[in-house]
Amino acid sequence: MCRLCLRDKCPSACPNYIPPKAYYYCSECGQGIFESDEYIENDDGEYRHYDCFRGIKDLCEWLGYEIKTMENNDYD
């Protein structure tokens, strides 16, 4: 038990608090990616929480896919 906050597991306000070990850091929110968190890695070696994508387009662009607009070339 912690002598300062008298708890088994210190809350983040306690000086003895040890943050959980982050394996990677999210390039979007800057928070650690912890055990059992869902995350995605792209070809640039960046990591992001699954929940940190604003949508499918955001996800695709981050993964390096170009979002194109089909143009109508049938006018010849």
Q: Output Rg (C-alpha) for the chain, integer angstroms.
A: 21
Cβ 54 to Zn ion, closest distance in Å?
Answer: 11
Q: How far is CA 10 from CA 35, 36, 37, 48, 62, in A?
A: 18, 21, 21, 27, 36
Please report whether residue 58 would count as binding Zn ion according to CB under 5 A.
Answer: no
Please report whether residue 4 would count as binding Zn ion according to CB under 5 A.
Answer: yes
Torsion of the alpha carbons at 52, 58, 59 and 61, rounded to the nearest 10: -140
Please report whether residue 47 would count as binding Zn ion according to CB under 5 A.
Answer: no
Nearer to Zn ion, 4 or 60 (CB): 4
Q: Which spans of this chain sit near Zn ion (rule: CB under 5 A)?
A: 2, 4-5, 10, 14, 16, 26, 28-29, 49, 52
